Each structure stands twice: as C-alpha cells, then as structure tokens.
Amino acid sequence: VTRTRAASVASRPALVSIGLGVLAIAAGAPDAGAALIASSQQFAALNFFVHTRAEEAMADTRAVQYMVELEQSPMGIVEFFEKFRYQEVLSESRRYPYFRSHPLSSQRVRTTRTLAEESGLADKPEDPEVVIQFEMMKAKLVGFLEPPARVFRDYPPTDTSAPARYARSISAMKAADLTTALREIDSLIAEQPENPFFHELKGQILFETGRPIESVEPLLEANRLLEGNPLIEVALARSLLERNEDGDIDLAEDALRDALIQEPNNAFAWTQLAIVFEKQDNRPMAQVATAEAAYNIGNYPRAYSFAQRAIRELTPNTPAFRQASDIRNATDPALPENEVFWRRRR
C-alpha cells in the first residue's frame, strides 16, 4: 500500500511536466514543450526514489530493532550491506536488478552502522548454536540449488563438518549417487539420532533413488521426533502411498490432513490427498482435492472444471459441497479479475 501511494505521489511531477509541455507547444514553443514532456519520466523516477529511500531507512531501523529485541548483535546487517557497497560505483546496466530499485547509498550504510553501535550489542559474540543452525541451512540450500561441482568445491571431502556432510549428501542424492548420499547422512544420524531432519533427508534419498518402501521407516522416525511438521508429514504420506500396505492409506490421509491444517495452500499436499481419495474409491472428494491443488497453483480452468464435476456428485449443503462451490465461484471465468488466470492457460 505504501509503495503504491508513493508511486502515485511520484507521478504528480510527471503529470505537471506533461501539462506544461502541452501548454508550451500550444503557445508556440514546440522545442521547449517536447523537452518538458521528455523529462517527465525522469522527474517521476527521482521523486519515487525519494520515497523509496525513506521506506528503506525505516526498514533498516526496524531490522536493527528486531536484532536488539532478540539480544543479538546487529552488526551482521552492516556487514551484509558492506558486501554490496561496490554496487554504487557500477553503471545502472551492470547493477543487480534489486539495487536499481533499492539504492544502497553510503549514507544508508553509515546510518545503519550508527544504529548498530548505539545498540550496545555490536560486539556481542554470536551464539554458537545459532551459527551452526545457519551453516546447516546454508548447506541445505547449496546442496539443493548448486551443481555438484560447486557443492564439492565449497564442501570438499576433507571437510568432515556436519554442514559439509549434509550438503554432500543432498548433492549426491540429486546425482543419483545412492552410496555417497547414504554414507554421509548415516554418519550424521549416528552423531545426532534425535535430529528429525536427518531422518527426513534419508527418507527422501531412498524415495528419490527408487526405494520408496524403505523410505517409510526413516520418515516415520522423523515424524515421531517432530510431530506436526508439514514438510515431514507430506513426505511421509507420499512414501506410505507408494508402499500401500494395510493401513498405509489411512495413515497417509491423517498425515496430509494434519499438514493442510498448517499449510492450506500446499498444492502438492492436495495432489497427494487426491490420490488418497482415489485409492479409497471416493471420486467426488478426489475431484475436490484436485480442484484445490489446481487453484493453489493458479490453474483456474482446471480448478473450475474439477470443482464443477465434484458439485454434480456431492450431497448439497455438505462441507465438501460448499468447499467445491467456493472453488467454482472463486475461479468463475465470468469474473473480470479472473481473466488473466484463464488467458494464461489457453
């Protein structure tokens, strides 16, 4: 809302400039009028960045306040800004797109540094537990997002730290190297058997490398160690559906319903729940779940179609009937605001 209002305010000088340009042309000064009109966008941009800088200053102040409230040193914010100060000297075309609309001026860095130093926490040492959590999170992102060559460069086999083994295990899984993936994750589980996410990753490794039945046990253990985590519950449900032994379908349904309470917009969970209903020969509810999945990824034609099918088979005025009706009404192609969702699927 603030950004929209700022853009509206910023456009006023441009409109004034255009108006003056039209008047100048009408008064017999076409060159002056053309110059005024041509400069209108520059005036708007300059005014907009005034508002942008004010918003960024407020955000910086609040970021420091958050760190102080957590009794953590805010110097990390300053160090982060310092890493990107070189962007100031680059031409507009060479800057990261983010910094074209979020100016990182020297004044902004100095102000943030002053706030951090005045907090009294600037020199407070980092909490070792927080640092290892950050390193594990970073390792997970690198493992999933970077190619194996980059992963093994950043985390060579000589690095036996937990983050390094975590990253290498994930990267090996992506490369279908089951032996390496299991060796690394098993070593972590041996050291930290109470860490649910190590068991969760082992379950994913087994599932992704074609051993879904074996993936159930580590995922059950992960769910036991950390109940109510949607990531683990959805992964467990997927493995249970593949194993398909007595009671597995009902367990999968319970896990998915629990996950969807916390993440009602999780399209993958809805897709898995649709499979559950199909296996239970409950076609109307499978159609409702499919409609929910489609709605949550913006596929309105598919959501509308499956909601319509479900409505024809469901008992009126039941919760499932109302759920399907809500999806149908929300994705109605007759609504002007839905035009873009229908057009993109044609």
- CA 317/CA 302 separation, integer angstroms: 23
CA distance 112 to 120: 14
**What pLDDT is stored for residue 93 in this prediction?**
58
- Spans in the chain with pLDDT lower than 50: 1-25, 29-30, 32-40, 42-46, 48-51
- Residue-wise pLDDT tens digits, 280-325: 999 999 999 999 999 999 999 999 999 999 999 999 999 999 999 9
pLDDT confidence of residue 104: 57
The token duo for 182 is: 């299991």
CA angle, corner 115, sides to 113 and 119, nearest 5? 115
- Other Cβ atoms less than 10 A from the Cβ of 176: the count is 10
Give the separation between CA 188 and CA 234, rounded to whole angstroms: 23
Q: What pTM value is reported for the model?
A: 0.74
**pLDDT for position 101:** 55
**pLDDT recorded at residue 112:** 84
pLDDT score, position 74 = 87
Per-residue confidence (pLDDT) for residue 10, from 0 to 100 = 41
Residue 108 is predicted with a pLDDT of: 75
